[in-house]
Structure 1
């Protein structure tokens, strides 16, 4: 046989989807692992025609699960962002949408036992060190996927997966404000560099001559904007202490504008070389934290709730996402305790994905 078979679950997590593997079924060596994931997804072609990817960055994501050695966690969640066309893999970031499926996947894999009508799974996101509690709807025969929860960007309804994110500050850079400033200026654009769940460079849409209400298609067609944004992102990332920024998806980039549909603020999120069709769960936490922090680029864009936990609603390209932020003001901005979101997930398929044996013999 000229191919190696690797067991996997194919799941939608939030507004993303991809293969979920047991880490024990994959090579230990990071370089070989990257080659296996590129082959499995089909990176190197805009349609991922020779793999199970979907031709978009939200459909070329990979979750790898294992029992945790951490005293707190049940499951270690190791994430990989596989590029659509470049044949590369980025192990630096994590993904909150894919994380929505980690609790259900852990139960499906037999790594966690379902308990009653709701199973609590404690997850360590090993890429960033974030700790997340996932509350998964369950029954005696396993995970319950049917339900009434609806998230913008996904058709229909499904069972809710409640996520509570902790220890998300400074996971990639070691600091809430990696540059030490509330606002920096790069290429003439005021930017807030912030590391909450995901390191981000955040600016106002009007700084680029945009309204902040553009569709994904309109943004992706605006190559002049992307060229300018990328120059700003690279300088911001370097100022944040991130290495090889031009070749990495971190820091991600976000734009803010006043809300127009009843939310707290309008936001657009970039992955970073295309616009996100909805909103990343990690990005939503960082953007919400930016909105709540006095003196950032978000100052004056929104009416800030005078309470904690504070409900922040981000208007994104496909609807809205709600983030409940438990925080306190301090002299340096805010102290973030945790952020809560509700997502959904669904098991789409299970089986074996095949990769050429010349890449890995298994």
Structure 2
């Protein structure tokens, strides 16, 4: 049995939007964990408390949900015109891997405040009072994020009266802009279509065919109609997460969608790529109750959306999926756009913002899409920026302790 003292690693625990995560400065990690690889992954798994066959993460900082099993590594940016590089790791709860395939939009709101607190943003760019713009390079997907962080008397303002559904207490508003949010290389619509027909097993949907909008914006996302799955779009977590057959069915849909999008080469690969793509089902507005017991009237929203994250229905909405929703709503003819325009009996028209209902309430996001004609090739839709408001707060700072043998592989 090891008698070595535990390692002490500087860390900060932050809430960003409707997520929480453990933040590290890259240069303060043990040297072997400052670079990608099995040592870094082993460290982050142990920090969060994974893999845990009990799915509780009792012996770590994780909260046993996809929203709270998260890690972030920040460093001074190596990209021109940026302040910091932001690397996100989604830690599996019950399996021994960290998924680096995408971003966390909610925690993106916490990166700016963290960077300012840690002195990574030049002092001359920080107002005594007002809004500081932090230029973030999202290293997972090679994209730019601009966080507009409120400042008061030279310090980050964390408290305020901005309310975010899915977060109990109000805080200061942080506006987050995702520049050119099409994820990765290539087109926003990887197949070139705003609606595709997926061929799936009969266990997913009767007839083995389902229409889907497949989009790479913010995070790769598969949108389907709620009614095609037998849902209303007003479901809360227990209705889905307590149904093992439903979870298996939605995971199968995700795997087939990932294959169709070219994100994986074999269906089996989906098991080790849990973070992306996401699956979301959409419906036209309807009166419904959210998890807090509040009633949402159909006139308050444009569309209903429920999204899956790491194999479970999300309690609110992932920030990156909100970007995908904004982009899809902006493009005529997508399933999101059609559902959002259903009350207008429209065949689909461009939108520059959308207010959607999720299990905890509502959220408004904005994006404008433009059709770019192709020269010698087909044209494509492009979104230059998607914007949403979140909040962030430091919950705790100090040192994470992990057993010394964690770094011995």
TM range (shorter): over 0.9
Give matches, 1:122-271, under 5 Å: 122-171=135-184, 174-182=186-194, 183-187=196-200, 188-243=209-264, 244-249=269-274, 250-260=276-286, 261=298, 262-271=300-309
Whether the 8 Å contact between 2:128 and 2:155 is mirrored in structure 1 is no
How far off is 1:190 after superposition?
1.2
Residues paired across the two proteins, number = 360
Aligned counterparts, 1:335-354, within 5 A: 335-354=382-401
Cα distance change, pair 128–29 in 1 and its aligned pair in 2 (3 A): closer
The Cα shift of 1:245 comes to 2.0
* Cα 1:279–1:106 shift into 2, 3 Å: same
TM-score, normalised with respect to structure 1: 0.94
Say whether 1:317 aligns with 2:359.
Answer: yes
Distance 2:150 2:187 in 1: 35
Instruction: Return the alpha-carbon distance in structure 1 between the equivalents of residues 351 and 114 of structure 2.
Output: 29
**Alignment partner of 1:3 is 2:21:** no
Q: Counterpart in 2 of 1:20?
A: 23
Determine if contact 2:85/2:137 at 8 Å carries over to the other structure.
yes
Distance 1:307 1:219 in 2: 32
Q: Which has the larger radius of gyration?
A: 2
Name the structure 1 match of 2:86.
77
Deviation track 1:15-37 (CA, whole Å, cap 9, x = no partner) reads 00011110112212421110000
Residue 403 of structure 2: which of 343, 348, 356 is its match?
A: 356
CA distance in 2, matches of 1:124, 1:299: 29
Does structure 1 residue 42 correspond to structure 2 residue 54? no
On the 8 A contact 1:189/1:232 being kept in 2, the answer is: no
* Structure 2 contact 331–369 (Cα < 8 Å) conserved: no
Unaligned runs of 5+ in 2: 201-208, 287-297, 374-378
- Structure 1 runs of 4+ with >3 Å offset: 304-309, 329-334
Tell me by how many angstroms 1:258 deviates: 0.5
Q: What is the rounded CA distance, in whole Å, between the counterparts of 2:349 and 2:263 in structure 1? A: 34
Task: Flag structure 1 segments of 5+ consecutive residues without an equivalent.
Answer: none
